[in-house]
């Protein structure tokens, strides 16, 4: 699992580094200010001098390296590390998905930066493809979530899922279906909505999924006779 994740991460970071190098080499010589942040409409809303902007954009590949290191370390430091390995498919999906999404962001940033520096009009196609990528990631995560096992880093980690195997299993089965639905919705929304509606098309549903999953985990925990720790009568 870790070896596969590191190999994919290395490939993703190589893509990010390649996108950054391409951007650096294809920027017009007279480009003084470069965008480093874009609003939900795809319009740049923050600029920095060329060298500082390039250093800022280089943080994306650096983040990819940091994520790879974090995902590689977690299975060794989680008190429930054996469960992470048993639920390796979900863990690897989150790892690879995060790196792939970062690579997509890096490519998009390079393209819109070079196009913008060359005088091309800004548009929100970059935002749309990122949103679609998020949707695809949610679909794969949702499919893998029911196969996770209790741990402290991945999944719906509430006090109730971590103290009841039944709550963990049922909550992740429900959350998996909800994640898949949100993922498909995000893919559709990415190419049909615009502006603020596009920005909140995923954040709103995800907050709802988080709330529903947390409440549901409590109800299952409450009904589980094998939950940990056992609730004792304080008068005894």
CB 44 within 8 A of CB 37: yes
Q: Specify the pLDDT at position 35.
A: 78
pTM of the full predicted structure?
A: 0.82
CB 220 within 8 A of CB 167: yes
CB 161 within 8 A of CB 171: yes
Which tens digits make up the pLDDT trace of 203-224? 889 999 999 999 999 999 999 8
Which tens digits make up the pLDDT trace of 10-32? 999 999 999 999 988 888 777 77
DSSP-based three-state secondary structure for 45: strand
**What are φ and ψ of residue 58, in 5° steps?**
-70, -15
In the chain, pLDDT over 70 holds for what percent of residues? Answer: 92
How many DSSP H helices and E strands does the chain contain?
A: 8, 2
Residue 85 pLDDT class (50, 70, 90 cuts): confident
């Amino acid at each position: 699992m870790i070896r596969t994740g590191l190999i994919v991460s290395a490939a993703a970071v190589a893509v990010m580094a390649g996108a950054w190098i391409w951007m650096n080499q294809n920027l017009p010589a007279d480009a003084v200010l470069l965008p480093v942040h874009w609003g939900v409409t795809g319009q740049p809303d923050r600029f920095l001098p060329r060298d500082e902007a390039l250093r800022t954009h280089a943080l994306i590949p650096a983040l990819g390296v940091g994520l790879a290191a974090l995902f590689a370390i977690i299975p060794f430091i989680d008190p429930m590390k054996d469960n992470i390995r048993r639920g390796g498919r979900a863990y690897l999906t989150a790892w690879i998905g995060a790196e792939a999404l970062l690579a997509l962001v890096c490519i998009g940033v390079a393209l819109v930066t070079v196009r913008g520096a060359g005088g091309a009009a800004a548009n929100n196609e970059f935002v749309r493809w990122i949103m679609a990528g998020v949707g695809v990631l949610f679909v794969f995560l949702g499919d893998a979530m029911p196969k996770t096992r209790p741990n402290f880093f991945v999944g719906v980690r509430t006090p109730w899922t971590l103290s009841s195997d039944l709550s963990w299993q049922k909550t992740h089965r429900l959350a998996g279906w909800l994640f898949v639905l949100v993922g498909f919705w995000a893919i559709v929304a990415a190419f049909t909505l615009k502006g603020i509606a596009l920005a909140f098309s995923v954040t709103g549903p995800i907050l709802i999924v988080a709330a529903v999953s947390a409440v549901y985990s409590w109800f299952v925990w409450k009904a589980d006779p094998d939950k940990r720790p056992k609730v004792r009568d304080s008068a005894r």
